[in-house]
Amino acid sequence: MAEPQRIAKLLARAGVASRRDIERMIEDRRIAIDGQPVEKPATLLTSLRGVTVDGKPVKEPAPARLFRYHKPAGLLTAARDPKGRPTIYDRLPRDLPRVMPVGRLDLNTEGLLLLTTDGELKRALELPSTGVERSYRARVFGEVSQSALEDLIHGIEIDGIRYGSIDANMERRTGRNGWVEMRLTEGKNREVRRVLEHLGLQVSRLIRTAYGPFPLADMPVGAVDEIRQHDLVAFRKSLEEPSRPGDGDRGAPRRGGGAAPAPGRPRGGPPRSDSPRSAPARPARPPAHRGPAR
């Protein structure tokens, strides 16, 4: 018999919403078991039999799916915006299943945004404790020494907020303009921009080039593809493995090294000049797209 689990965890695994959103839905009495509203997120269940959301039965969790999306600048990472600004959901292909963003990219930040059908996978990818590395390239204007960038490896405090270890390097410079590469394992709000601005740099363009072992590579802007299941399963197993002594020098296990898993074939969007640099992905068969249109 299956081990009882919290209803919020089961629903997150089924792709209904994140745990936090599910807790809000329970407060709003939108979730019921056999017609009776659930009172507590800690309710334990062995299956989702009889569970409904807004009166509709919830299917048992399907295998998690993970997608890469080359987010353009100018889109919000949100389901909707009160001000009417465009969001990623306005541009995603209609034949995608219901997906949730892993973390978020600011309105004017572009590059790799991971999307998943599984709330537990989303949580594992986002938590700083799992040490999943994010990589960025920033086009900057101003003067900064390489030693000041290297000092970020020890973390930095700005306006009372502590930012963890950042591996930063001046990739290239032309006069007072340059490109800075940064790798970090946190995802605090506007972290990269705030740290660079604190160093006296103006950020004119910010691109996420990788998330864990998944690279942006040469994906066209606006394109979406799916990570192969066997690569996703292998990655999830790596998250469960204890860190070994000597794994990285930043105090947390790095999950971004090694060869990148082969994603599916990207769809949509023309190639772009001045594209972000990252390791090229191996060619792969196109993904199978399932699930209802949103």
Q: Any catalytic annotation for residue 247? A: no
CA–CA dist 32, 26 (Å, integer): 8
Confidence at residue 285, expressed as pLDDT on a 0 to 100 scale: 35
Lowest-confidence pick of 42-56, 101-115, 120-134, 263-277? 263-277
Could you say which of 28, 81, 90, 106 is catalytic? 106
Asked whether the predicted pLDDT for residue 282 surpasses 70, the reply is no
Q: Are residues 43 and 71 in the same domain?
A: no
Q: Are residues 126 and 218 in the same domain?
A: yes
Q: Are residues 74 and 19 in the same domain?
A: no
Once rounded to an integer, what is the mean pLDDT over residues 44-68? 91
Confidence at residue 134, expressed as pLDDT on a 0 to 100 scale: 97
Look at residues 196, 211, 226 and tell me which one is the last residue of a structural domain: 211
Q: Are residues 183 and 221 in the same domain?
A: no
Contact 18, 122 (CB under 8 A): yes
- The reply to whether 266 falls in a domain is no
The CATH number covering residue 31 comes to 3.10.290.10
Question: 34: domain range?
Answer: 5-57
Confidence at residue 274, expressed as pLDDT on a 0 to 100 scale: 52
Q: Are residues 36 and 81 in the same domain?
A: no
The CATH number covering residue 79 comes to 3.30.2350.10
**Number of domain units in the chain:** 3
Confidence at residue 129, expressed as pLDDT on a 0 to 100 scale: 87
Look at residues 57, 78, 100 and tell me which one is the last residue of a structural domain: 57
- The reply to whether 290 falls in a domain is no
Asked whether the predicted pLDDT for residue 247 surpasses 60, the reply is no
Q: Are residues 218 and 72 in the same domain?
A: yes
pLDDT band for position 264 (50/70/90)? low
Q: Are residues 18 and 150 in the same domain?
A: no
Residue-wise pLDDT for 190-205, tens only, equals: 999 999 999 999 999 9
- The reply to whether 181 falls in a domain is yes
Phi first, then psi, for residue 198 (nearest 5°) are -65, -30
Q: Are residues 52 and 177 in the same domain?
A: no
Q: Are residues 153 and 126 in the same domain?
A: no
- The reply to whether 105 falls in a domain is yes
Q: Are residues 153 and 14 in the same domain?
A: no
- The reply to whether 228 falls in a domain is yes
Kindly list the distances between the CA atom of residue 90 and the CA atoms of 11, 52, 79, 292, in Å, as whole numbers in the listed order: 25, 27, 9, 16
- Residue 126, SS3 per DSSP: helix
What is the torsional sign of CA 234, 282, 132, 73? negative
The CATH number covering residue 174 comes to 3.30.70.1560
Calculate the average pLDDT of the chain. 84
Q: Are residues 153 and 43 in the same domain?
A: no
- The reply to whether 231 falls in a domain is yes
What is the torsional sign of CA 197, 200, 203, 209? negative
- The reply to whether 263 falls in a domain is no
Query: How do beta strands 156-158 and 134-141 pair?
Result: unpaired
Confidence at residue 1, expressed as pLDDT on a 0 to 100 scale: 54
Lowest-confidence pick of 102-116, 199-213, 253-267, 271-285? 271-285
CA–CA dist 226, 45 (Å, integer): 31
Based on DSSP, count helices (H) and strands (E) in the chain, helices before strands: 7, 17
Residue-wise pLDDT for 5-29, tens only, equals: 899 988 988 878 888 899 999 999 9
- H-type helices in the chain, by residue range? 7-13, 19-27, 88-91, 119-126, 146-150, 191-198, 229-240
Q: Are residues 219 and 122 in the same domain?
A: yes
CA–CA dist 76, 91 (Å, integer): 11
- The reply to whether 283 falls in a domain is no
CA nearest neighbour of 118 among 14, 9, 229, 231:
14
Lowest-confidence pick of 6-10, 189-193, 230-234, 280-284? 280-284
CA–CA dist 126, 261 (Å, integer): 19
Contact 226, 67 (CB under 8 A): yes
Residues composing the chain: 294
